Every structure is written in C-alpha cells, then in structure tokens.
Amino acid sequence: MRTLNLPVISASLDPGSKSRKLAVSAWQYLRAAGHDSRLVDLAEIEYPIFDNARVFNSEAFKELHSVIANADAIVLAFPIYNWAPPAQLKSLIESTGATGDGMNTAAWFDKPVTFICSAGLPESYMATGALAHSLMLDFKCVINPYHGYFASRDFEDEETGTLVPERAQRLAKTLDVHQDLAFVLRERSYTSAWEV
C-alpha cells in the first residue's frame, strides 16, 4: 500500500466544536492507516477573509494553498449552520480556488474531497449540496458520496467527540472510501484547469 498525502481541514471556529473532534478522529484514523496526514485547524490560523486582493499576500494563504495543492485528497470537517457550511470554509475555498488574479492557480483541481459534518439535528443532511456542486463544477473535484454527517444524537459523549458504535462505523467507512478514491484517482490520465 502506498502512502498518500491526506490532510484534514477543520473549519470550525467554535472552541467546543464537535466537528473539530471529528476532524481529530479522522486525522488519527488516516495516520493509523499509514498515510501522511496533517490536521489544519482554521481556529488556530489567522486566515484573512477573501477579498480577491490582499488575502493572496498572507503567509496563511500561501501555506494552505500549498497544503491543498499537494494533497492526494482532502477531508473537510465543519459544522452546519443555517443549512450551510460556515463562512470561513467558503472564504478558504474562494481564496485557494482563485484563478483570476493573474498569478495563482486554484489548488482544488481534481481533488477527491470528503465532508465530515456535525449538526444539531439530522434534518440538514443535504446542506452540503451547494458546496459539493461548486467543488465539482468549478474544480472537477470528486466528492465522496459517503460523507459523514453526525447530529447530536450520534454522539455517545459530546465532550470527547465519541460517536455511538454504529455511527463510528460510518465514520470509518467514510474514511476508507476516501482512501480508495485517493488511490484510484492519483493514477488518473488527465488534469483539469479552469473550464466549463
């Protein structure tokens, strides 16, 4: 089995975030499987809001653009607020996906992407749809159909982020499919660019 570069990005700013705990679990799982995996926590990085100008001069932008561009696949862990991912995740994708400044190339092209989400209730399960569409159509990302969606009732212990056994199995399956997609798509015969 070849080692993959599989970063996990936690996109919650909440100090008690359940999605961050899921991100840590995903990161540990991927490392235990023998992969290079870095945990990136947006709560610990002063990442500028996307303005299509000054953001490109920040060290945080350069670092995260490199992390994403060099990844074989990416896990995005985030909360669902008002039936949508949080603004800071959209801002990260807007900046690292920018191609119109004449200097930068989007970091997201052709990446397999897995969503791991936390939410209060199970009803917003499809709240990732717009983000998935954007990544697929703009950057030709392959979205893992086994995204992990975990509501409050799925946690055995919210303080530690421990899931009930059945939902822990779903997280493991989601990450197994993530690895499989990364292996298969690393050998793809094409590369994408900005195109419609």
- End-to-end alpha carbon distance in the chain: 35
The verdict on residue 21 lying in a domain is: yes
CB 108, CB 68: distance < 8 Å: yes
Question: Is 90 exceeded by the pLDDT of residue 167?
Answer: yes
The verdict on residue 70 lying in a domain is: yes
pLDDT tens digits, 60-72: 999 999 999 999 9
φ and ψ at residue 142, rounded to 5 degrees: -105, 115
Q: Read off the tokens for 32.
A: 């235990």
CA–CA separation, 187 and 164 (whole Å): 36
Question: Is 70 exceeded by the pLDDT of residue 76?
Answer: yes
The number of domains in the chain is 1
The verdict on residue 1 lying in a domain is: no
Alpha helices in 52-141 (DSSP H): 59-69, 87-96, 129-139
pLDDT tens digits, 96-117: 998 756 667 899 999 999 999 9
The verdict on residue 192 lying in a domain is: no
The verdict on residue 195 lying in a domain is: no
Q: Which runs of E-coded beta strand occur in 15-166?
A: 39-41, 74-79, 112-119, 142-143, 148-151, 155-157, 162-163
CA–CA separation, 168 and 191 (whole Å): 35
The verdict on residue 2 lying in a domain is: no
Question: Is 70 exceeded by the pLDDT of residue 125?
Answer: yes
Q: Name the nearest CA neighbour of 116 among 70, 71, 167.
A: 167
The pLDDT confidence band at residue 163, using thresholds 50, 70 and 90, is very high
CA–CA separation, 71 and 69 (whole Å): 6
Q: Name the nearest CA neighbour of 30 among 145, 187, 160, 183.
A: 183
- Where is pLDDT greater, at 35 or 194? 35
**Lowest mean per-residue pLDDT among 7-16, 48-57, 166-175:** 48-57
* Residue numbers of the domain that contains 81: 8-186
**Lowest mean per-residue pLDDT among 48-57, 73-82, 88-97:** 48-57
pTM for this prediction: 0.96
The verdict on residue 91 lying in a domain is: yes
The verdict on residue 3 lying in a domain is: no
